[in-house]
A and B are shown apart, each in its own frame.
Chain A
Amino acid sequence: MQYPQHRWQPFIAHRHDLFKYFRRLPTLIAVVVFVAVGAPGARAETLKIAMIETFSGPFAPIAHNQLNTYRMFADLANQRQLSGTGNLIEVQGFDGKGSVQESLSQLKTVIDQGYRYISQGNGSGVALALLDAVNKHNQRNPGKEIVFLNHAAIDPELTNGKCSFWHFRFDANSDMKMEALTAFMENDAAVRKVYLIGQNYAHGQAVSRAAKELLRRRRPDVQIVGDDLHPIGTVKDFSPYIAKIKAAGADTVITGNWGADLALLIRAAKDAGLGVKFYTYYGRSAGVPTAMGAAGVGQVRTVVYWHENNETFSGHDLATQFRAKYDDDLYFVSIVTMVDMLARAVKATGSVDPVSVAHGLEGMKITALNGEVEMRAVDHQLQQPLYIATWSALDGKRVKYDQEKTGYGWKTERKVERHVAAQPTSCQMQRPLKR
């Protein structure tokens, strides 16, 4: 008689005997399910995008505006079947609270929920962290890759040193915008002494760096008389900075400021009677026109990829529709272009698999609201024309539509062609094979 090796031996032997009947069953179930699900056939696919943005706090209105833009244009794309018959695009918002930690936590949540596309734009710091996490996830989980659609984060690093196959940027990056601004300033003889002022974080520092470099190249005669960085969202009284600008004798100010920082700076300049021209990145962003009001008329210029008073007034009907639906102005045409391109990629490749769609997006050329745009394959940076516009009173001819019901709108000074703003890139990304 064989003694059991240890006290559990009889039970194990017993379980082994019973299980031989059940061993075949899971395999059988798996085969049935595989056949049912994996069977090829015309089936509606949904491209689901998880938008990880700052939905709370002072910058919440921007994120809500972006989500509404996504929703409206995804609905339009679905109605017109732009992604192919039956295919849909859906967008859901997740609150990243503007912090890296919280956004990464939301990324884990959306991965668990099965999202394969994420979108973010407000804050390059968060964008860099998310891209890093997405790269690592894709490396460790082949077959479950995620694509990062960037609609507003403009740190040039994202398409240079930190570029990645999984990242697509639909906004013109910080260097491209500076190239457009300086191209405009090149022919402006009134620009002789330039003052740089910005918020003291990655974006403000990048703008200052780019301004110095590009002005040196395009207008070596221009003197940079000041370079100030102030803490973000803290300064309430800009009059000391205005006094400094005046003491330096500047005639032009370049700033990457946004939100209350930009509005207060322009108001302080108007209060002090300082007649400098402001060249801004975000003069058109949410809340700034309301806060500027009559203060910046004729003085404030901005670089944008689209505004309602463009040369053909294209997009006016969509902007009116958006205003009627959400009681808010349409700002983020980068999202409109993104949804359009995604729909076409899905239709062309016939699937919503991220790798196929990503390959489909590379090199895509479409006619967007601001003209012909191209998703450059080498670095995944959208090449698009840019507008330099001045804050002006409505005149019914060139400035027909106002912004944020202020009675003032943007007047096109120049449309900078795609090739002018295009930047060289140091990107060397590794591409996965096409599926």
Chain B
Amino acid sequence: MTTGFTQQTLEAISAGEPSWLKSQRLSAWKTFEKLPLPTRRDLEWQRFDIGALKLDKVSLSADEPTIHERLSPLSAELGRKGVIFCDMATAVAKHADVLKEHLGRSIAADEPAKFSALHAALWRNGAFLYVPSNLRIEQPLEVVYEFSGQNTAGFPHTLVVVEPGAEATLVQKFVGGPRVGTNGAPSIHASGTEVFVREGGHLHYISEQNFSPNVYDFTLKRARVDRDAEIDWVLGMFGASFQRYDVQCIMEGEGGTSFMYGVGVLDHHQQFGQFTRQHHRTGNTTSDLLFKNVLRDTAISNYAGVIKVEKNANGTNAYQANRNLVLSKEVRCDTRPILEIESNQLRCTHGATVGQLEEQQLFYLRSRGLTPELARDVLIEAFLDPVLARIQVESVQQEFARLVHEKVVRKA
């Protein structure tokens, strides 16, 4: 199989990096080379049309960065208190010790997934956030990744370490995206985010993906949650022609909590695969998940969520819900909520629904004088509201609402 990615590019990207990092990249490269491209025979891919995904048409050069990250400025006071918020290049140069301890722990080099390995081998750019013990940062920190170029690929990596008792809010935005290249091939974007929330720490995490069409996006997000720590996620999925979202929370300490909320609005030929995993390694942990999707035109969505409870993880409390609103008859909507339970002192539930707008509700709104279109839009926005309401940063909440509104109200 030919791809536009080479080991030379890897060597060039890795130039000047510590040797442990380079060997990590090389071992991931080996995994990438070894694995075949997924086909429609694989359960997770069988409903997708990935014929346009031609790796040999994509090229990546080490000279020209395809991702430009913009970090919100960190106040001098926070800097003095030990907070680190910088781009990855700086982090590799200045904070190699912290990086060495965390980088690649959750997105391992030998993970048998083609695009995870590609990311782990060739990641470049990105952001590093470090919050020292017992420090609470009120102000949300924001990083925007702008993807540019043609027939190319982008692999930003984000590493977040929240030390014991600390609290922070991180907003991540993935935007931009090249126009269709001369050879008609899409661009590939594979981002990775590794989060570590230590004992009693708390991270509010918001992620927004709004690429232009013609981007094939592979997103990996992994959080390890320690004792009494908490993470709440809000994930917005709006752009790109193909997206594969792989989100995991790994509950490693008693009393840990994860609240995961996702919203997806799909139209035209968009294809979203959402794969979530709530992994309870230790008992007395809680995880909650709600993914809501609105599908129209000829969109395809495939949700598969796993709640995994290991042996003796007693006192686990896990919930998972996937709700889909279908607005057109050409839509395809699959959902697979999976439970794998090896412990007995627990409570796990999941629910999945696929449905359309209710005639009665539409009728009610119209009887109050709303036009059919407005009534519809109101109901769709109401459907997504429980997720949007979870966003604690007001400006981001408004932006999500705007993105939803734009895609929903779009005239046919």
Chain A bound to chain B: no
User: Residues of B at under 8 Å CB distance from A?
Assistant: none
